[in-house]
Amino acid sequence: MTGFGFKMAAVFCLVAVVAGSWIAASAQTPNAGAPEIVLNGGTSGNVTFPHLRHQQKLVDCNLCHSVFSQKPGAIEALQAQGKLAKKEIMNTQCTKCHKEKQKAGEKTGPTTCTTCHVKG
């Protein structure tokens, strides 16, 4: 390889590395949120929700977030607007999913209220 050919190959490699790094850095990563989220559980006590564990298990965020947005306080805001009943998420999302998985013989989370709600 001549000196000119070697320099062109080196420049090409450098451009490829820079372009690859730029593409990787600019790739959109969905908002993963906190690993754990403390949810307002009303008079029954707050719920420490293992958000990361659910993301890893369910993969599709829309399984939950089709009902409420990914913003802190979204559930409370919908309840305040009368668009979401007080226990609707817990009964139609959480407990229902856990009971279905339990029925299918899969390892799952709690199926009773007092397991998650902690008065403190």
Query: Count of domains in the chain?
Result: 1
Question: For 51-103, how does the pLDDT look when each residue is reduced to its tens digit (9 = 90+)?
Answer: 999 999 998 999 999 999 999 899 999 999 999 998 899 888 999 999 999 99
- Could you list the residue range(s) of the whole structural domain that residue 92 is in? 37-108
Cβ-in-10-Å burial (0-12, 13-18, 19+) of 41 comes to middle
Res. 110: pLDDT tops 50? yes
Question: For 7-28, how does the pLDDT look when each residue is reduced to its tens digit (9 = 90+)?
Answer: 555 445 444 444 444 333 333 4
pTM of the full structure = 0.67
Tokens of 116: 């998650």
CATH code, 101: 3.90.10
